[in-house]
Structure 1
Amino acid sequence: MVFRENTTAEKSGPTVLIVGAGTGGLMLGLLCEKGNIPYQIFEKSKALRPLGSAIALNKVNYLFEQVGIMEEVEAYSKSFGGLHLLDQDLNCQGSFYARAPGVSQKEAYGYASPVMARPDLIRILASRIPKEKLHYNKRVIASHQDDTQVTITCEDDTTYSGTILVGTDGAYSSIRQHMFKELEAVGLMHTSDAEPMQSDYDCVVGVTGAMDTEKYPVLKEELCEFKIVMGKTLPMTWWFMPVIDPELGPRVGWMITKDNNAWNKMNKGNSSSKDDNKTQGSSSDWSANAAKEMCDLVKDMPCPLGGVVGDIFDKTPKEQITKVVLEDKLYHNWYHGRTVLLGDACHKMLPFGGMGASMAIMSAVALANILYEDLPTTQAEVTKAFKEYYDERVGWGQQSVDGSRKTAYLMHKQGFVGDMIRRIGFNYIPNWLLKKGTDAYNEYRPHIVFLPFTTFTGTYQSGRTNTPSKRWLASQNQTTAAVAL
């Protein structure tokens, strides 16, 4: 039996079909919920599987305040304090501080970036979505669009129709694949978009259970200080990021990365790692392939938190240890017809710059703002809205993809050149120059235009944000007048 939901623009604006329940999809759903925009979310997994490690959330605190989740985010996070690069013997090679003696984020911009386990953020966002609007076990196998609506078909033979389709389903987005086929058919496919993503690294991630602070006293510290160990005998890095759970207590998000190009050279050109990448990359972002082999390479190394690295693995639930291929690419085609892409589906970046989740959140805000204000229903209106969204976000996408690749090079390049770059980057760049860069990053902080704005605090006041929605202001004025009567 086929179930068909005719969700058209006749309700109260565009009906948004969101495919993918990751950070971007759930944030977009929450914004639609707040803005009274009809929407449905479709997730291919049978249940929420929030995998990953710790994530740093840059420049989004005020957005969390607007949607009312900041208090819970703070309960599950530590403020980012700094990043310390260590050699294999745990000698510190340099530090970057987001606090004194470096550039204090909180003092300068009124906030410090929260660092939390990705599973916790996913759970918080999902808890704000009504159950009847979040559909699991809905793998999309086809989509069709015309001048009036877009329809998706799921693997279980159900179909859903709406006004707009948003692909937030990750790096191997099925929505992007369907959209690209349509673009190819009409000769509008960008040449570079047909090329595969660039893949140079393997990665294993996880988050531990509760940790003993007597054995790991560093976890008692208020701030989250990243500890990154760069291998000397292996072209690998291993990362440790303290996080918090108000019930379980201190935990550790961790990540192991392997530079496949350097690994292949070290093993005289053995390309098995590259072959593995292609196999994994064709299936899923969060492949369930065994991670034990990579973990075994570093399990006996000293851990900067105490003990050996293997102790951290032992404290991590096995079902949350995941191997993933790290790839990056900025796509040029972000939209076509009534379909638009968001997050990793249109700009996949490496995790080393700490921008993936924040970029998805900011893009969800940009798209929701446009959909709320303009209420596009005709094909011409939808195209105009999508172009506005693309123009606003593509520059940030390019900057983040490029930045993550440069950071990957900084963290993995071995030999004299790599050592010199890191020595200069971590020890000799003055704070005034660092602040100039962070000022530029915080110069424009757009709000959600249909919710009360927050007030920016901090010594740096750029004065640049967007303006509240005219439609929303009118509704507020009408409410005020009605109360007065």
Structure 2
Amino acid sequence: MASELHVLIVGAGIGGLALALLLEKASISYEVFEKAPEIKLLGSAITVSSIMQIFEQLGMYEELLELSRPFGALHVRDEKLDYKGTFWSRPPGDDYEGLYGDYPRVIARPDLINLLLSRVPAKRIHYGKRVLTTRQDEDEVTIKCADNTAYTGSLLVGADGAYSSVRQNLYKELQKAGHLPKVDAKPMGYSFDCVVGISDPVNPDDYPVLKEEFSEFEIVLGKDVPFTVWYMPMTKNRIGWMVTHDVRDLGTNVERNMRCSEWGPDAALDVLKSVSHFKCPYGGSLADIIDITPKEMISKVMLEDKFFSTWYSGRTVLLGDACHKMLPFAGQGANMSILSALELTNLLFDIHSNSQEEITRVLKEYYAARYELAKWCVGSANQNGAMLHRKGTVGDFVRYLFLNWMPQWLIKRVTDSFHVYRPQASFIPFVKVRGSFKTYSNKPSRRMVPGSSIPKSV
């Protein structure tokens, strides 16, 4: 039964914490291992869309609403702030709330991390645990950390990001046995440098956009430079922002990765010097927004993407960025990680035994359930990134068509694909899915069926 399981989760990001929270609710034993001495509350805006029913099931819906703002639109401008077009998620576009029950919600990544952390018992998370090696056999899986500690469990979940140590160890094992597809050994597509931040609270009289009901993103495209600047109104009178630098023309993926190793602590500020003079749609310049942002809240990251074809082997499985690293331009990274955590937990809750055969069955079903949508999201985010950054006449023409002439039925069809299947935790009473759009969900666990002789965990 599931009570015999002990799950080792490596990585305390959104995917790892969501999995921990769901396992906690399902009464499945687990531990979380985070390599950092504490969780770094960095990042900017995250969009939550097709997973609202999960937060409602978990009793976190109202709190999520308080911490977030409804996403209304994405406005695109050039460096002179001349208007180029808009992607709407409210009228005059589709009535997103009427169709799907809720508008997408814009939340600060630190706020979402803290919300998840508030529901995971502190004793379950071990900090300063950088995983060096993993070992598995028919009966168990063991991780060894840099501090010479070792931990053993029934299942190992690598939720430790794009450069997952769990994935690297798993792939070494598979490559040695001649079972790793060549495509999985290739480097990720490194397309953009990115600097993000969240301002301190400001006076909304100075930035009236913060008084508006919806969070409407402003995107400013550099004309002769490969930079794009994003502005995102957030709760608590803060402004989230992001600067993306298109590096696709600067050598191969391998060469760009080597250049990345030369980044120092001032790398983020060095990038910002190139664009701080950009006009801000709210008035002033980007430099003014940077000045009201705590320096410790500014971070520089590589934006890469890759869909890995191998997600599991033996008693090891990957989740989130560790198996489908996507660019942020489709706003689906957090949604995909949480949905994967939900799918895996539902399957583990209904597992028949702790045997290798049963573990393999579960992981195979998990992969089949998540493969297609995750792959589509990786490709969609890549296409959106190209559309929003491509320079020259071709780039201007593509953006003009996308923002001004794309048929509304086609936009709705794409949006529908994210909402047609809205699963829920099978081990918690289901909630009513709001909205007029016809959707379908999974079924309650066999252990939750009235009259079942199988004990419930919750």
| TM-score for both structures, normalised by structure 1 | 0.90
Among 236, 240, 254, the alignment partner of 2:241 is: 254
CA distance in 2 between counterparts of 1:289 and 1:177 reads: 29
CA distance in 2 between counterparts of 1:376 and 1:115 reads: 40
For residue 334 of structure 1, what is the aligned residue in structure 2? 311
Among 382, 401, 405, the alignment partner of 1:405 is: 382
Among 54, 57, 69, the alignment partner of 2:45 is: 54
For residue 19 of structure 1, what is the aligned residue in structure 2? 10
CA distance in 2 between counterparts of 1:377 and 1:309 reads: 55
For residue 221 of structure 2, what is the aligned residue in structure 1? 230
For residue 77 of structure 1, what is the aligned residue in structure 2? 68
Shift of 1:362: 0.5
Shift of 1:429: 1.8
Structure 1 unaligned regions, length at least 5: 1-8, 265-270, 481-485
Secondary structure, counterpart of 1:196 in structure 2: coil
Kept after mapping to 2: 8 A contact 1:445/1:465: yes
Kept after mapping to 2: 8 A contact 1:210/1:251: yes
Number of aligned residues: 456
Shift of 1:479: 9.3
CA distance in 1 between counterparts of 2:307 and 2:14 reads: 19
**1:61 partner letter:** M
Secondary structure, counterpart of 2:274 in structure 1: helix
For residue 4 of structure 1, what is the aligned residue in structure 2? none
Kept after mapping to 1: 8 A contact 2:8/2:32: yes
Q: Given the alignment of the two structures, is residue 277 of structure 1 paired with residue 270 of structure 2, yes or no?
A: no
Kept after mapping to 2: 8 A contact 1:291/1:322: yes
Shift of 1:53: 0.9
For residue 116 of structure 2, what is the aligned residue in structure 1? 125
What's the CA shift string for 1:157-199, capped at 9, x where partnerless? 1111100000000000000011011101211111111111011
Q: Given the alignment of the two structures, is residue 141 of structure 1 paired with residue 128 of structure 2, yes or no?
A: no
CA distance in 1 between counterparts of 2:411 and 2:28 reads: 40
Among 145, 150, 160, the alignment partner of 2:151 is: 160
CA distance in 2 between counterparts of 1:436 and 1:137 reads: 45
Among 433, 437, 446, the alignment partner of 1:470 is: 446
Shift of 1:431: 2.1
Kept after mapping to 2: 8 A contact 1:90/1:302: yes
Secondary structure, counterpart of 2:306 in structure 1: strand
Shift of 1:92: 1.2
Moved more, 333-342 or 50-59: 50-59
CA distance in 1 between counterparts of 2:451 and 2:341 reads: 23
CA distance in 2 between counterparts of 1:149 and 1:261 reads: 43
CA distance in 2 between counterparts of 1:273 and 1:306 reads: 37
What's the CA shift string for 1:100-157, capped at 9, x where partnerless? 0001210111111110110110011011111110111111111111110001111111
Query: In structure 2, do the counterparts of structure 1 residues 359 and 278 end up closer, same or farther at CA, with 3 Å as the change threshold?
Result: farther
Q: Given the alignment of the two structures, is residue 308 of structure 1 paired with residue 285 of structure 2, yes or no?
A: yes
CA distance in 1 between counterparts of 2:306 and 2:256 reads: 19
TM alignment of 1:200-239, pairs within 5 A: 200-239=191-230
CA distance in 2 between counterparts of 1:236 and 1:372 reads: 46
Secondary structure, counterpart of 2:267 in structure 1: coil
Moved more, 26-35 or 315-324: 315-324
User: Percent identity between the aligned chains?
Assistant: 45
| TM-score for both structures, normalised by structure 2 | 0.95
CA distance in 1 between counterparts of 2:108 and 2:405 reads: 32
What's the CA shift string for 1:202-243, capped at 9, x where partnerless? 110111110221111111111110101111021110001111
Query: In structure 2, do the counterparts of structure 1 residues 193 and 475 end up closer, same or farther at CA, with 3 Å as the change threshold?
Result: farther
CA distance in 2 between counterparts of 1:125 and 1:477 reads: 33
Shift of 1:430: 2.8
CA distance in 2 between counterparts of 1:21 and 1:475 reads: 38
CA distance in 2 between counterparts of 1:475 and 1:123 reads: 39
CA distance in 1 between counterparts of 2:181 and 2:175 reads: 9
Shift of 1:448: 1.0
For residue 297 of structure 1, what is the aligned residue in structure 2? 274
Shift of 1:319: 1.2
Kept after mapping to 2: 8 A contact 1:350/1:404: yes
CA distance in 2 between counterparts of 1:65 and 1:421 reads: 39
For residue 322 of structure 1, what is the aligned residue in structure 2? 299
What is the CA RMSD across the aligned residues, in angstroms? 2.1
